[in-house]
Amino acid sequence: MKTVQYREALNEAMSEEMRQDSSVFLLGEEVAEYNGAYKVSQGMLDEFGAKRVIDTPIAELGFTGIAVGASMNGLRPIVEFMTWNFAILAADQIINSAAKMLQMSGGQYNCPIVFRGGNGPAGQLGATHSQSFEAFYAHVPGLKVVVPSTPYDAKGLMKAAIRDNNPIVVLESERLYGVKGEIPEGEYIVPIGVADIKRKGTDVTIVTFGKIIEVAHQTAEILEKEGVSCEIIDLRSVRPIDYGTVVESIKKTNRCVVLEESWPLASISSEIAYHLQRYAFDYLDAPVQRVTQTDTPLAFSPTLIEEALPNIDRLSKAIKATLYRN
């Protein structure tokens, strides 16, 4: 094993796949000369050249359309958005072109393409630069959506995404790029659609994904001292969702709290809560609790940000509610 940063894990994944497959290329704003806005593509221009690591204008709809066309004609593009907030401008190409191409062409055209970049709140960036898009893209048939929370998952899921013949949305966090973690020295893949039990427990299941999982770990450590054993499931993929792993955990703990960084309405946590009441109702000893961002645009003020985002206190109260300890 070796220790790398999250950004380095993504870089390794893309570079390894580009060495193995000449049809893979990277394009986006500042990915080449500047080595990426968050240095994810550091050194890739030097290794692969300007034909495979391509700087684009600030024109998300345009360069995403070029990538979709390239994928229909045998190439495997990786599109980097400086932030997924900017990808709103490219939503037509992602949702109306890439996601629907296989179905609308009667199976004649695959669209093997990876859309990736920074997602979610990342400090004092204001409401229009702090949105979490997991549920937005998971809502769309034809897309697969992954949200890696560790360097290990980031590399393994990225390699799986590049090899997949479907359009894949990879939602990274700007706050995770510098986080370090262990990854294997050799080749490995993390399958899309397979959740991971990050912490074993017996009293309550916390279902989560992305960088907010750190709040789950911190809360679990605190509650362990109070005699509460938390199991933490990292979904890793939010389309498809590994419902089986969640249900099997509920059969053991009989309680569930879903933790997510986005808004509550029509969210991933809503979907998990529905699925559990439909398919695991007889195993639940308490209603499923949800801890999400407040239902407001995220403020610029750090005090208001702290109040809006899920935190240890709110998660602890939700867990204790499932245990009838409040």
In a domain, 202, yes or no: yes
The number of folded domains in the chain is 2
Residue 326 binned pLDDT confidence (cut-offs 50, 70, 90): confident
Domain check: are 203 and 157 in the same one?
no
The pLDDT tens digits for 152-198 are: 999 999 999 999 999 999 999 999 999 999 999 989 999 999 999 99
- At residue 171, the pLDDT reads 98
Beta bridge partners of 175: none
Q: Which of 12, 29, 129, 174 is catalytic?
A: 129
**Any idea what the CATH number is for the domain that residue 49 is in?**
3.40.50.970
In a domain, 294, yes or no: yes
Mean pLDDT, all residues of the chain = 96
Domain check: are 37 and 148 in the same one?
yes
**Any idea what the CATH number is for the domain that residue 277 is in?**
3.40.50.920
Residue 319 binned pLDDT confidence (cut-offs 50, 70, 90): very high
| pLDDT (average), residues 219-236 | 98
What percent of the chain shows pLDDT beyond 70? 100
In a domain, 276, yes or no: yes
Answer yes or no: is pLDDT of 46 > 80.
Answer: yes
| pLDDT (average), residues 293-308 | 93
- Who contacts 20 (Cβ-Cβ below 8 Å, separation ≥6)? none
Domain end call among 159, 183, 207: 183
Domain check: are 143 and 292 in the same one?
no
Domain end call among 158, 183, 208: 183
- At residue 164, the pLDDT reads 98
Answer yes or no: is pLDDT of 123 > 90.
Answer: no
Q: Which of 29, 60, 231, 261 is catalytic?
A: 60
Residue 60 binned pLDDT confidence (cut-offs 50, 70, 90): very high
Q: Beta strand 289-291 with 256-259: parallel, antiparallel or unpaired?
A: parallel
Please indicate whether residue 60 is annotated as part of the active site.
Answer: yes
Domain end call among 121, 151, 183: 183
Q: How many CB atoms lie within 10 A of CB 265?
A: 9
In a domain, 189, yes or no: no
Ramachandran angles phi, psi of 242, nearest 5°: -85, 80
The pLDDT tens digits for 247-287 are: 999 999 999 999 999 999 999 999 999 999 999 999 999 99
Cis peptide before 167 (omega within 30 of 0): no
Using alpha carbons only, give the angle 98, 102, 105 rounded to the nearest 5 degrees: 110
In a domain, 296, yes or no: yes
- At residue 154, the pLDDT reads 98
Q: Three-state SS across the chain?
A: CEEEEHHHHHHHHHHHHHHHCCCEEEEECCCCCCCCCCCCCCCHHHHHCCCCEEECCCCHHHHHHHHHHHHHCCCEEEEEECCCCHHHHHHHHHHHHHCCHHHHCCCCCCCCCEEEEECCCCCCCCHHHCCCCHHHHHCCCCCEEECCCCHHHHHHHHHHHHHCCCCEEEEECCCCCCCEEEECCCCCCCCCCCCEEEECCCCEEEEECHHHHHHHHHHHHHHHCCCCCEEEEECCEEECCCHHHHHHHHHHHCCEEEECCCCCCCCHHHHHHHHHHHHCHHHCCCCCEEECCCCCCCCCCHHHHHHHCCCHHHHHHHHHHHCCCC
pTM over 0.85: yes
Domain check: are 211 and 276 in the same one?
yes
The pLDDT tens digits for 87-122 are: 999 999 999 999 999 999 999 999 999 999 999 998
Domain residues for the domain of 59 are: 2-183
